[in-house]
Structure 1
Amino acid sequence: MVNRGSHHTRSFSSTSKSVSRKPSFFTITLCIILLSACSIFTFLFSIRNISDDDDHQKDRLVEHSESHSQSKSQFQSESQSLPVKVDRLAWLHLALLPILQVPDEQLWDVSFSYGLHPCVKPTSEYQAAQGSDRYITVRSNGGLNQMRTGISDMVAVAYIMNATLVIPQLDKRSFWQDSSTFSDIFDELHFITSLQGDLRIVRELPKELESVPRARKHFTSWSGMGYYEEMAKSLKDYRVIHVAKSDSRLANNDLPLDIQRLRCRTLYHALRFSMPIEILGKKLVERLRSRGGRYIALHLRYEKDMLSFTGCTYGLTDAESEELRIMRESTNHWKVKKINSTEQRIGGLCPLTPKEVGIFLQALGYPPSTLIYIAAGEIYGGNIHLSELMSRFPNLVFKETLATKEELKAFTSHASQTAALDYIISVESDVFVPSYSGNMARAVEGHRRFLGHRKTITPDRRGLVKLFDKLESGRLREGSSLSSRVQQMHKSWQGAPRKRKGALPGLKGRARLRTEESFYENPYPECICSSKAV
């Protein structure tokens, strides 16, 4: 402070010596006028530059949007779908909305894994099944992932009952009417040989047993060791036991460690997809990587059957809502026929709409240029609904745009096989986002946890609906305020390591088992160990 003051004094003295008299009033006025003119000129020049930059940026955004629209239109003409109508001005407005700037590592990097790693080896006490002349046949029900987890359960059940497992028959009566056999979807030989140290698996029943009486059982859902040990005793007089359904036949919790690890060995190692699926799946991942390096796999659960099953009609026309109601009431095995769509949505029980997914991803901080792979079947309403997502994220990719017609030809009429492609691409993605917590979403999340807790962002649908309703009513606007709320809401919803959740409090009996987190959604701690674990 002293030095600075001394310097100021010396400068002032020197100046006072060189100026012998005060400037005139006219000189001072002229200087002020010149300074003001310079300031105005500088301001106007800056405004012009900013305007030019904005116009240039808008031109680039329009060009980018048109480029993607042309690419998408080409795909739509090939698949004979409805044209996408993207309002360029609306898209520009959305693209330029102020949002909280999010660092790249926060958007893409995996959660800290705390030294956790997969562990599926048997314990020292484990013994392989001794083998017997009793056989279990299975009819797997549901879609691809429901069948996969069900088959893993039945491997464990056959082990517990000390029986030989016959390669399961796959569901051909579901919504998709898929005629695929086990070997069409899975590597059958690998399945048999990789589990030969655990139990005996055969391709089909011996000829002499095809006509013998069978014990046809519908095993109770979420049953434990004691249940199946008792079943083995009560069915000892039967050479063949036929299981009508395979899904959720085994408890999530309170099973021996070796049984849980057997389930993981089956699902993550033995149930490898057939070679044609594996080869094409890996090719498509490589093509996605070559386009942008990083990508989001979005499981957009907005297919006709899902909306009809859940009774969710928000954002649909009256005609679409009526079509879904008719489908639900005419589907015999769907028990609930009358559903209040509004209550479903408020309770977070509806899939997010394509528009809501777009708002969600933008609020998280992902830029419009983000590469997004749509892992889904046919979107209900076609591109009329999909355009609301594309207006925010035009860089959407589908199987049909990523693979050639020739490559997809063998899979076209087999929904389970195309779902397997989606599964591979989703597991390998940088970020996985499911719009609904269905069987695939749970299976992919569990697999990604098993492989190192890869980033999986699960939307808090109940919380988001409240924000979406505020947007619609005008009580909240898109921008930094919405972004901060959404990002704060999902800090703990990104696949970080945690133990599997138990049943909801207050429930008793078997009802509580339904509310437990699926073992296949989070196989920690049984199949995921710390670096110090044996």
Structure 2
Amino acid sequence: MVNHRGSSHNHMRTASTAKFISRKQSPRAIAVYIFLLFAFSIFIFVFNAGNIVEDHPAPVISIQSHPQTKFLQTADDELWDAPSRHGLRPCIKPTSRYKAAHGSDRYLTVKSNGGLNQMRTGISDMVAVAYIMNATLVIPQLDRRSFWQDSSIFSDIFDELHFITTLQGNVRIVRELPKELELVPRARKHFTSWSSMGYYKEMMQLWNDHQVIHVAKSDSRLANNDLPLDIQRLRCRALYHALHFSPPIESLGKKLVDRLRMRSGKYIALHLRYEKDMLAFTGCTSGLTDAESEELRIMRENTKHWKVKDINSTEQRIGGFCPLTPKEVGIFLQAIGYPPSTLIYVASGEIYGGDARLSELMSFFPNLVFKEKLATKEELNAFAKHASQSAALDYIVSLESDVFVPSYSGNMARAVEGHRRFLGHRKTITPDRKGLVRLFDELESGQLRETSSFSDLVQQMHKNRQGAPRKRKGPSPGIKGKARFRTEESFYENPYPECICSSKVV
């Protein structure tokens, strides 16, 4: 009976279906039916996919987490591409008002002080000073008594002939004083730091009684701002066009860059200023042992020209005055979005704490390379025990890198950043150390728990710190008198707008 009913029902449904199918459907009706079926399928897929994503909450991390913990992925072009230069280009040609200096029988002798980049910018200043004072510049003597204890002479580090010939239409430069002037009394002068044109015009009265002026220090002899355009451009011509490194340094430096390119194509140059002298000078001891902290204190006490002896390390760190540690650099670069496979060239002297402390960075980025790994012992022998020549190799590799990251705003960091700006605003990420310390501490204490939150904050903090064009910063607000000059951004850190201008400007 049941089967009979089913049979009858099926017969009726079959007949009905046959009747429906037998009807002639329009192509438009069929198309609508297919579209509705497809749309319903898409809705079901999206609904289920949304549920899958919600089943995977964001991971929780801390500074102690495994180094391979993934931060937010960043697009490759955002990591490596240089910021837009907005049509700006180098412009260092003299203006129509510029008058080249003539040969002079008045001479400036100079004792350059400091490390490599302090000497480089100081020499460029002295080229401009010689021009202002209408003097012949004698090739400067280099500092042999600084922390680096480098016995190199000018021609060991710089291409002396190129320096002289490139500037011959601006300032007369000679290798040494004429024999007849070697024993004459000299006016020994320590020119005032960050001085103006007017100051050096006044100093020209020294020529009334002396034929030779000896300058005791070369660094920061000229003001950063408020100088004539032609003087500023002369400083740029001296630093970027005339003051090339010696041929042996240039040759090996280019080889190191080529070898890095062959390894990975792109690389970061990291100026890791975590060295004994810098930590002692800044008084930064966070994360160090008591014995290491005491060693640095003694070094600071025994260095006469370091005026500040008693330093609160905690206050220094909170204020952002300490170099980032190797570990902090690793966390920072990971948060920016660089993957662990990133090739990083470490430009630095001996890292304080040695391999043990460097391993904290290598746990994040194992592909660290030093010049000692890129060059052979034979290639480096010529530069052994010459810290300034060795630093020049690091300078070349840093200048040519896809991305430059300094862990501290020292002389090399500022010089490389300015040079990269001059060459087309190549990507330079300058860490906001004060802001990062706050984030590191929040991450360590658990106030920041989500990976994405930390990474977002770091990336947002550095969105406008990647080398894009901007005008040079003036003095800090509220600072008066000569002290304000010290707070100004260095001319050589950012030579815009005097030496960088739009293509419309002549």
- Per the normalisation by structure 1, the TM-score is 0.83
Alignment match, 1:73: none
Alignment match, 1:210: 182
Question: Which amino acid is 2:404 matched to?
Answer: F
Alignment match, 2:271: 299
* 1:225 corresponds to 2:212: no
Q: CA deviation at 1:524?
A: 0.3
- What is the DSSP-based 3-state SS (H/G/I as helix, E as strand, rest coil) of the residue aligned with 1:526? coil
Equivalent runs, 1:99-498 vs 2, <5 Å: 99-477=71-449, 479-498=451-470
- Distance in 1, Cα, partners of 2:483 & 2:338: 40
Alignment match, 1:87: none
The 8 Å contact of residues 106 and 207 in structure 2, kept in 1 or not, is answered as no
Question: Which amino acid is 1:403 matched to?
Answer: A
Q: CA deviation at 1:333?
A: 1.0
- Distance in 2, Cα, partners of 1:335 & 1:93: 42
Q: CA deviation at 1:412?
A: 1.3
Alignment match, 2:38: none
Alignment match, 1:93: 66
Residues 488-527 of structure 1 show CA distances to partners (whole Å, capped at 9, x for unaligned) of 0000000000010111111111111111100000000000
Q: CA deviation at 1:92?
A: 9.3
> Which range moves more in the overlay, 469-478 or 403-412?
469-478
The 8 Å contact of residues 91 and 391 in structure 1, kept in 2 or not, is answered as no
The 8 Å contact of residues 98 and 480 in structure 1, kept in 2 or not, is answered as no
Residues 473-495 of structure 1 show CA distances to partners (whole Å, capped at 9, x for unaligned) of 22224621110000000000000
- Distance in 1, Cα, partners of 2:450 & 2:365: 16
- Distance in 1, Cα, partners of 2:15 & 2:315: 81
Q: Percent identity?
A: 80
Residues 120-161 of structure 1 show CA distances to partners (whole Å, capped at 9, x for unaligned) of 110111011122211000000000000000000000000000
Go from structure 1 to structure 2 and tell me whether the alpha carbon gap of 1:482 and 1:16 turns closer, same or farther (over 3 Å shift). Answer: farther
- What is the DSSP-based 3-state SS (H/G/I as helix, E as strand, rest coil) of the residue aligned with 1:93? coil
Question: Which amino acid is 2:90 matched to?
Answer: P
- What is the DSSP-based 3-state SS (H/G/I as helix, E as strand, rest coil) of the residue aligned with 1:297? strand
Residues 401-426 of structure 1 show CA distances to partners (whole Å, capped at 9, x for unaligned) of 01001100110110000000000000
The 8 Å contact of residues 111 and 453 in structure 1, kept in 2 or not, is answered as yes
The 8 Å contact of residues 443 and 521 in structure 1, kept in 2 or not, is answered as yes
RMSD: 1.6
- What is the DSSP-based 3-state SS (H/G/I as helix, E as strand, rest coil) of the residue aligned with 2:208? coil
The 8 Å contact of residues 157 and 245 in structure 2, kept in 1 or not, is answered as yes
Residues 345-364 of structure 1 show CA distances to partners (whole Å, capped at 9, x for unaligned) of 10000000000000000000
Q: CA deviation at 1:287?
A: 0.1
> Which range moves more in the overlay, 510-519 or 230-239?
230-239
The 8 Å contact of residues 117 and 528 in structure 1, kept in 2 or not, is answered as yes
Residues 195-240 of structure 1 show CA distances to partners (whole Å, capped at 9, x for unaligned) of 0000110000111111111000000000000000000124432100
Alignment match, 1:530: 502
> Which range moves more in the overlay, 97-106 or 277-286?
97-106
Question: Which amino acid is 2:177 matched to?
Answer: L
- What is the DSSP-based 3-state SS (H/G/I as helix, E as strand, rest coil) of the residue aligned with 2:187? strand
Q: CA deviation at 1:16?
A: 7.9
- Per the normalisation by structure 2, the TM-score is 0.87
Alignment match, 1:515: 487
Residues 442-471 of structure 1 show CA distances to partners (whole Å, capped at 9, x for unaligned) of 000000000000000000000000011112
Go from structure 1 to structure 2 and tell me whether the alpha carbon gap of 1:207 and 1:16 turns closer, same or farther (over 3 Å shift). Answer: farther
The 8 Å contact of residues 187 and 206 in structure 2, kept in 1 or not, is answered as no
- Distance in 1, Cα, partners of 2:191 & 2:228: 19
- Distance in 1, Cα, partners of 2:276 & 2:15: 85
- Distance in 2, Cα, partners of 1:383 & 1:314: 18
- What is the DSSP-based 3-state SS (H/G/I as helix, E as strand, rest coil) of the residue aligned with 1:192? helix
Question: Which amino acid is 1:93 matched to?
Answer: H
Residues 365-407 of structure 1 show CA distances to partners (whole Å, capped at 9, x for unaligned) of 0000000000000000101110100000000000110100110
The 8 Å contact of residues 471 and 478 in structure 1, kept in 2 or not, is answered as no
* Residues matched between the structures, number: 451
- Distance in 2, Cα, partners of 1:17 & 1:133: 115
Residues 16-56 of structure 1 show CA distances to partners (whole Å, capped at 9, x for unaligned) of 859xxxxxxxxxxxxxxxxxxxxxxxxxxxxxxxxxxxxxx
Structure 1 stretches lacking a partner, 5+ long:
1-12, 19-89
Residues 273-329 of structure 1 show CA distances to partners (whole Å, capped at 9, x for unaligned) of 000000000000000000000000000000100000000001111110000000000
Question: Which amino acid is 1:269 matched to?
Answer: H
- What is the DSSP-based 3-state SS (H/G/I as helix, E as strand, rest coil) of the residue aligned with 1:334? coil
- Distance in 2, Cα, partners of 1:222 & 1:402: 40
